[in-house]
């Protein structure tokens, strides 16, 4: 299993910008745009993920709207598997399956095309996103994959806000590259 060296981990961490009081006062937002525009850090991260998942024999990588699309599509290309976007409600043009999830201020909903995994029962899917906080969106995405009769074999997040314990809400193995 691929492991990041301390030097590689530091390179990736140092490439992520903290933005205080965004989107509201008291929150420190982890801005990955500075990771994306740092080719050395991004390549280090993607090499690590490619090595980790090379032997999983995945059929698809699914990314959560919107930053999961970036990491997911790069990884799917490197692994030579299909990429599936999990989108916010109303953004997909074909028949969808939906899953609601709770937010601190109400509910939201995400969707995937009903045939997103080519109707392959038990298709092996890796779910990826940039960050796991409370785990609500990740749990909904995991449930959505399983509703389509595919099999979410692992959930991968570039970073975790550990104090929110979002991993505990997901009924799947979870891998996080960075822990904050």
Q: Catalytic residue positions?
A: 67, 104
On whether the CB atoms of residues 61 and 125 are closer than 8 A, the answer is yes
177 three-class SS: strand
155 three-class SS: strand
CB environment 44-55: b (16+ within 10 A), e (fewer): bbeebbeebbee
How many Å is the maximal CA-CA distance in the chain?
46
Q: What radius of gyration, in Å, describes the C-alpha atoms of the chain?
A: 16
On whether the CB atoms of residues 40 and 107 are closer than 8 A, the answer is no
Residue 171: how many other CB atoms lie within 10 Å: 12
């Amino acid at each position: 299993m691929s492991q990041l060296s301390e030097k590689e981990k530091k390179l990736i961490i140092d490439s992520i910008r903290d933005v205080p009081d965004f989107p509201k006062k008291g929150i420190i937002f982890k801005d990955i745009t500075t990771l994306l525009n740092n080719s050395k850090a991004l390549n280090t991260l993607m090499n690590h993920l490619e090595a980790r998942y090379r032997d999983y024999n995945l059929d698809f990588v699914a990314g959560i709207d919107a930053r999961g699309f970036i990491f997911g599509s790069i990884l799917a290309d490197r692994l030579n598997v299909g990429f599936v976007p999990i989108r916010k409600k109303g953004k997909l043009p074909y028949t969808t399956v939906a899953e609601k999830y709770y937010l601190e201020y109400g509910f939201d909903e995400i969707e995937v095309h009903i045939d997103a995994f080519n109707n392959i029962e038990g298709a092996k899917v890796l779910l990826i996103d940039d960050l796991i906080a409370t785990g609500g969106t990740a749990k909904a995405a995991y449930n959505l994959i399983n509703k389509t009769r595919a099999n979410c074999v692992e959930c991968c997040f570039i970073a975790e806000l550990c104090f929110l314990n979002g991993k505990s809400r997901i009924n799947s193995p979870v891998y996080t590259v960075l822990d904050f």
